[in-house]
């Protein structure tokens, strides 16, 4: 999404629909956000007007194997996706000395 598209939306004008490549990139960012939130507690990113936020909530009812992550993807003021997902509890990976 270009700066012109964002400006048009802010002024109440027409905004173009994102292309397939942009949607694939947002999907990849959302998957990364889930993993990073499970590891570190939270992840935020923006891409061409999209905003992706993920926040770890608590361990899922199944125990320590999964954690619940709240995921929100928006485009401007429109919420595209809002979900609470159970994802694998990933330990942070750090380089070994």
pTM over 0.85: no
Which tens digit of pLDDT belongs to each residue from 6-18?
444 545 556 667 8
User: CA 13, CA 4: separation in Å to the nearest integer?
Assistant: 10
Token pair of 28 as six digits? 């990849």
Which tens digit of pLDDT belongs to each residue from 50-72?
999 999 987 656 556 778 899 99
The predicted model gives 78-95 an average pLDDT of: 74
For residue 23, count other CB atoms closer than 10 A to its CB.
13
């Amino acid at each position: 999404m270009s700066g012109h598209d964002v400006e048009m939306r802010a002024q109440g004008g027409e905004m173009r629909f994102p292309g397939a490549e942009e949607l694939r990139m947002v999907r990849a960012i959302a998957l990364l956000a889930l993993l990073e939130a499970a590891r570190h507690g939270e992840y935020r990113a923006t891409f061409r007007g999209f905003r992706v936020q993920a926040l770890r909530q608590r361990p899922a009812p199944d125990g320590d194997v999964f954690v619940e992550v709240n995921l929100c993807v928006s485009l401007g003021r429109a919420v595209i996706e809002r979900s609470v997902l159970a994802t694998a509890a990933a330990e942070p990976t750090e380089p070994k000395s």
